[in-house]
Amino acid sequence: MKNYFILFGIGAFAYGLLEVIWRGHSHWSMMIAGGLSFVAFAVISKKLRGFPFLYKCILGSLTVTALEFVFGVIFNIILGQKVWDYSNIPLNLFGQICLLFSVLWGFLCVAAIPFSEYVLNLLNKKGGKI
């Protein structure tokens, strides 16, 4: 369990950094989404070991998109935080998710899923100590 908390922290930091590089800023809620996504990538990699890599990337993309939708509804629509708005991007749903970013999450999974598996294996070998 401790290893998943470490994975969460790595994902939270990495996603926050990625957003700052991409958009120039981030929101604390996106760090939570990033941490959950990175843990999900490790679980996908571990549980679906015999499945094709493309399938894992598609599932990873769908996972991030689902998290983005839930966080968007909570923070953007219900709480009015205006963290992001995809309303001007074609094929969006309530301005919270869109096909373009779902595809981009899939490409991100190409690196993130193997990396999450590598980190989890490393943590398991070292007993959770980095």
Express each pLDDT in 57-94 by its tens digit: 999 999 999 999 999 999 999 999 999 999 999 999 99
Q: Nearest to residue 110, comparing CAs of 73, 55, 66? A: 55
Q: Give me the pLDDT at residue 32, please.
A: 97
Q: Give me the pLDDT at residue 64, please.
A: 97
Per-residue pLDDT, averaged over 18-32, amounts to: 94
Q: What is the mean pLDDT of the chain?
A: 95
Q: Give me the pLDDT at residue 130, please.
A: 47
Express each pLDDT in 30-65 by its tens digit: 999 999 999 999 999 999 999 999 999 999 999 999
Per-residue pLDDT, averaged over 97-106, amounts to: 97
Q: What angle do CA 106, 119, 115 make, to 5 degrees?
A: 25
Domain boundaries, the chain: 2-125
Identify the three-state secondary structure at position 81.
coil
Percentage of the residues of the chain whose pLDDT score is greater than 90: 92
Phi, psi of 127 (to 5 degrees): 70, 25
